[in-house]
């Protein structure tokens, strides 16, 4: 059912996107400073959307060339997702540096340039969107709705941390909060990974 695929896309995308990193911290800080917030969150959301669409279409092209690759994609995607979840749990005690990014003398052009660098120069962005979400999409009949769910998760996440940063910053910069988030996300990743490999 297409609604189930949409929900699954939303959940899986959420587990990948909710991670502390330079892009997310930058969005939070722009929200706290109330500077070009809409531009920042829209840029990040649209960038994720483009990369998700590229990943899903790329996997479709490969599968159409050789239909048997769908099984390989499912297994590899499941194995990588499980591995990603295990690594996240293993590193859960290595607390991240949650110091706030402080950017001075910002203007519109500088913000766009910074966003471009922390988004497209980050290899994890391609890993999470193009490779991982692209390969995982092969598990779903309605790939369009799976991708739509993943894109909706991205928009909700970035707009939330951008416009609600004042209220979320207390929790976002808390190591205890990220301990629980990493644990839950790690368990979810392992669960989905095993599911995609064996079912």
**How confident is the model at residue 31, as a pLDDT?**
85
At 103 the pLDDT is: 46
CB atoms under 10 Å from CB of 160, counted, come to 15
- Max CA-CA distance within the chain? 54
pLDDT digits (tens, 9 = 90+) for 99-124: 554 445 567 888 888 889 888 887 77
Question: What residues in the chain have per-residue pLDDT under 70?
Answer: 1, 19-21, 92-106, 169-174, 178, 199
| Alpha carbons 12 and 3: distance in angstroms, whole number | 14
Report the alpha-carbon distance of residue 89 to residue 182 in Å, rounded.
Answer: 7
Tens digit of each residue's pLDDT (9 = 90 or more) over 54-67: 999 988 887 777 77
d(CA 199, CA 76): 13
Per-residue pLDDT at 74: 74
Q: What is the DSSP letter of 93?
A: G
Asked whether 108 and 25 are in contact (CB, 8 A), the reply is no
């Amino acid at each position: 059912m297409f609604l189930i695929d949409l929900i699954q896309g939303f959940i899986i995308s959420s587990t990948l996107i909710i991670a502390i990193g330079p892009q997310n911290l930058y969005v939070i800080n722009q929200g706290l400073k109330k500077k070009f917030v809409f531009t920042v969150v829209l840029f990040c959301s649209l960038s994720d959307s483009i990369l998700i669409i590229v990943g899903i279409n790329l996997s479709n092209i490969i599968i159409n060339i050789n239909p048997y690759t769908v099984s390989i994609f499912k297994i590899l995607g499941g194995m990588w997702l499980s591995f990603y979840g295990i690594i996240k749990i293993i590193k859960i005690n290595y607390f991240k540096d949650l110091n706030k990014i402080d950017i001075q003398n910002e203007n519109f052009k500088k913000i766009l340039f910074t966003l471009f660098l922390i988004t497209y120069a980050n290899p994890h962005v391609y890993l999470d969107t193009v490779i991982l979400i692209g390969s995982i999409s092969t598990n779903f009949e309605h790939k369009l709705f799976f991708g739509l769910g993943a894109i909706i998760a991205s928009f909700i996440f970035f707009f939330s941390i951008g416009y609600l940063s004042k209220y979320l910053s207390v929790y976002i910069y808390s190591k205890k909060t990220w301990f629980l988030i990493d644990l839950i996300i790690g368990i979810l990743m392992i669960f989905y990974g095993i599911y995609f490999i064996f079912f």
